[in-house]
Amino acid sequence: MPASIDEQVIDFCQGLFRRVFSGPFRPRIPERLKRNAVIRQVEESADAASQSLTRFLLNEKLTEEQVATVLAGFTRLGDLLQLSDVANPNVPPEAVVARVLAELPCPDAVRETGHEPVYRVALHSVVQVVKLVAPVMAEWQRLDFSTTFELPGRVVDRFNKISWQIGALGRAGEAADDERYELSYRD
């Protein structure tokens, strides 16, 4: 039996951020303590970024097995998203998603359960979050991972604040399907 939805999403985001950010950063940071600090910041960003995908999948009322199937379709996503590509502000998330969908089409198991739209929206959500984080990480890399660079912490704080606000709004009107849709859309 697969893990809970939030555990699956956190593990997925951790792996994705490790592949897109931490992996390429490791060889560029010779000092062990500095490298560990950077990796912790990347992991914290991944945890914060996982919240919107978790909320979306929970709102769609997917089972743990269905979430596992959707996330399995994204297995190679980390290989397809290079920092230089996703950090480029001139490339919209939609263009990245279109390119990725050519390589990672919706798995048959997801399509058979009628969750192809969920797959596409989840992929778009993941790409959008990575595109929000990537310019900050690229700038941090350009600054040789300066310890005084505060933007990674601010990104995490912003993700957490958005998540808290949307969670509070969702609890206020849990019974209304229209509100749940609106919250997913805002997210």
At 162, is the pLDDT very low, low, confident or very high (cuts 50, 70, 90)? low
- Model confidence over 91-106: pLDDT tens digits? 999 999 999 999 999 9
C-beta atoms surrounding 25 within 10 Å: 20
| Averaged pLDDT score across all residues of the chain | 86
- Model confidence over 25-82: pLDDT tens digits? 999 999 999 999 999 999 999 998 898 899 899 989 999 999 999 999 999 999 999 8
User: 31-45, 108-122, 148-162: lowest mean pLDDT where?
Assistant: 148-162
Give the pLDDT of residue 84.
Answer: 86
Query: Is 166 a residue whose pLDDT tops 70?
Result: no
Query: Using CA atoms, how far apart are residues 35 and 29, in angstroms rounded to an integer?
Result: 5
Give the pLDDT of residue 169.
Answer: 47
For CA atoms 7, 166, 134, 44, give the dihedral sign: negative
- Whole-angstrom distance between the N-terminal and C-terminal Cα of the chain? 29
* pTM, 2 dp: 0.83
Which residue in the block uniquely carries the two structure tokens 């949307």?
166
